[in-house]
Amino acid sequence: MSNFEENVAKFGEILKQFNKIHSLTNYKDIKNQVMDSIAPLEFLDINPKIAIDIGSGAGFPAIFLAMKIQECEWHLFEPNLKKSSFLSYAKINLGLKNITVHSKKIQEGEKFKADLITSRALMKTKDLIKICDGFYDENTKFMLYKGSSVVDELDGLKAKIYNNKNRNYIIMSVK
């Protein structure tokens, strides 16, 4: 069993523990969510050094991306305290030293430039870009996890769409 698989199993146990008390997610088996989280790495054409995940929730996709891209410094923005507490607990228990959890909205964070910004079905694309102002430049890639109605959201934006069943993975630059 690889280190990644061991950490995924350990994460699953931690999530079950927290779910008993805090009801973070309704996933009983996280295998599909893990595969969904790391799927875009197949076509991501950068090796980020600094990445941001917005609305990290129960850790999908950020925790698994951080496991895979270990040389990257990951910043997880999650304003919900029970979710950000869970993320901090998971980070410590999985030994993920490349993660910093911010218990706030990204708009409230101190600005820094990221090479990669990720988000999983949090809000409309143009609204997401707006709240990320100050965190990206022309070299930053956005990697967004979207549902089937994403085409309308991308009007006027240069984006590549990779489809896998009901999931659209969007890779784009903004400036």
Q: Distance between CA 92 and CA 97 in Å, rounded? A: 8
Annotated binding site: 55, 60, 106-107, 120
Contact indicator for 90, 58 with CB cutoff of 8 Å: no
- Residues recorded for the chain: 175
Sequence-distant (≥ 6) Cβ neighbours of residue 142 within 8 angstroms: 116, 117, 118, 119, 128, 129, 132, 136, 170, 171, 172, 173, 174
What is the C-alpha R_g of the chain?
15
Annotated binding site for S-adenosyl-L-methionine: 55, 60, 106-107, 120
Local structure of residue 133 (DSSP, 8 states) = T
pLDDT in tens, 83-95: 999 999 999 999 9
CATH (domain of 16): 3.40.50.150
Q: Distance between CA 21 and CA 92 in Å, rounded? A: 19
| pTM given for the model | 0.94
Nearest to 65 by CA among 173, 164, 169: 169
Task: Choose between 151 and 55: higher pLDDT.
Answer: 55
pLDDT in tens, 93-143: 999 999 999 999 999 999 999 999 999 977 899 999 999 999 999 999 999
Q: How far is CA 139 from CA 50, 80, 133, 142, in A?
A: 12, 30, 14, 10
Q: How many domains does the chain have?
A: 1
Domain interval for residue 60: 3-173
Our CA dihedral for 62, 66, 67, 71, rounded to 10 degrees, sits at 170
The DSSP annotation for 61-115 comes to THHHHHHH-TTSEEEEE---HHHHHHHHHHHHHHT-TTEEEE-S-GGGSPP---S
pLDDT in tens, 3-59: 999 999 999 999 998 888 877 777 778 999 999 999 999 999 899 999 999 999 999
> In which band, very low, low, confident or very high, does the pLDDT at 2 lie, cut at 50, 70 and 90?
low
Confidence at residue 121, expressed as pLDDT on a 0 to 100 scale = 78
